[in-house]
Amino acid sequence: MMNRTDYLIKEIKTYHCDLIETSPDTAKIKFNKMAANPFNFYRGTAHLFYADMKRYPSEFVNEKTGRVWIQGDLHIENFGTYKDSKGHIVYDVNDYDECYLAPFVWDIWRAAVSIVLVVRQQQLKEIAEKEFVAEYVASFCEKIKQFAEDKSERDFKIDLEHSQGEVKKTLERAYAESRSDYLDRFTEIYRGVRRFKINEKQEPLSSDIRNRMISAFYEQYIPTIPLSKRHNPDYYSVESVDMIEAKGAGIGSAGQKMFSFLIRGESDSADDDIVIGAKIARPSVVKPYVEPNPFPDKYIKNEAMRCALGQRAMQANGDPFLGYFEYDGKPFYVSELSPYEMSINLNEINSSKEFLSVLRQMGQATAKIHAVSDRDADATLVPYSADKEIANVIAGKEEQFLSEVCNFAIDYADIVENDYKAFLDALSREK
């Protein structure tokens, strides 16, 4: 039998084989980011996490709680701020590239492991590790029970009025941003028309690609925006602006092809133009570990449609620009690139009290995404009340649920740290 280290290196190379072959420099950048600390390594290896899940059954998973929308890569830095479709800047779960129909506990477990890793990284030693996890889990349980009883999940939001501590500070920073300042970072006015700046991270498109992308934008993307959120055609005008092909940033998206569109927005003023991003949607890392296929036959046209449906379901009042299209046979997932998107700076969390406050609000946000994404969003995919099913399976067993999550989080964080050391050794041998 293959030992853990050999298995680890084999899985990482297999998962990244296309990136290694087509863009070895980008792969090197991603691996160096993963090498920074165990938490970064964990963020970059969600595929390992789900491959391990077959060894961790849960008594809280049944036919219904095993088939709800999950975010799929839930960790501390995948919570943040954005402006919702009603104009509110809120703190919520974000980044839905890996969303899927799967056991709800996988979101809880993955987030809980990230909590332990951050506690160790920030050296928050005033209280035991399990107490941090318990704060998050207890908040989730309390909120999912409330949603099951009063069905308030679609109106729930963590905004300036309903936030505390570092979450409130992050929301205040988001409110201090302006669209015009954001546009000035990436664009410039040329002959009265705003266009993208060209820099070392961006490449201008050829006229052929640009024309084909415009066609895909109008003919495929716009019809995927729900009518209730769709503006008039002039709003989406892209005729007089440049589009830039930019390489993906971040640990999870390294090497992904991304396109940016600059659209007209509300008026002819160049100050309310909007930046729309489109990136290739790959199969969710969760997909290989959910059997049978939870989606009805031919219901999901492509992976970008899955991402858009999942995000719409879990955010409820989310990004009004969500949609998708295909280009060169590849599915592209479309969303706004917004000035109001921010995450909590982990380096500013210096006390257990501060972190516990963040975890309480993370637990509430996690309960919200599971509660809103059921039959109220799409009864074809989840034809029952997810919040009621989850609340029922936990009811009377809160301590067992808490113990299951805490024990798993601490044990699996140990595995991550050992895997991280093996990864560092393998990197050093290849240099």
83-98 pLDDT, tens per residue?
A: 998 889 999 999 999 9
Contact between 275 and 91 (Cβ < 8 Å): no
Composition of the chain by helix, strand, coil, percent to 5: 55, 15, 35
Q: Domain ranges for the chain, please list them.
A: 4-176+356-430, 179-336
* pLDDT at res. 240: 47
Residue of 64, 84, 132, 136 whose CA lies nearest to 107: 136
* pLDDT at res. 241: 52
Helix (H) or strand (E) holding 413, with range, is helix 398-430
The pTM for the full model equals 0.95
Structure tokens at 408: 């798993």
User: Given its phi and psi angles, is residue 131 left (phi above 0), alpha (psi -120 to 50 degrees) or beta?
Assistant: alpha
Query: Do β-strands 193-196 and 187-190 pair in parallel, antiparallel, or remain unpaired?
Result: antiparallel
* pLDDT at res. 343: 94
Residue of 313, 334, 316 whose CA lies nearest to 325: 334
* pLDDT at res. 247: 52
Q: Which residues of the chain have pLDDT under 50?
A: 240
Structure-derived torsion over alpha carbons of residues 410, 357, 123, 343, reported in degrees to the nearest 10: 90
* pLDDT at res. 376: 78
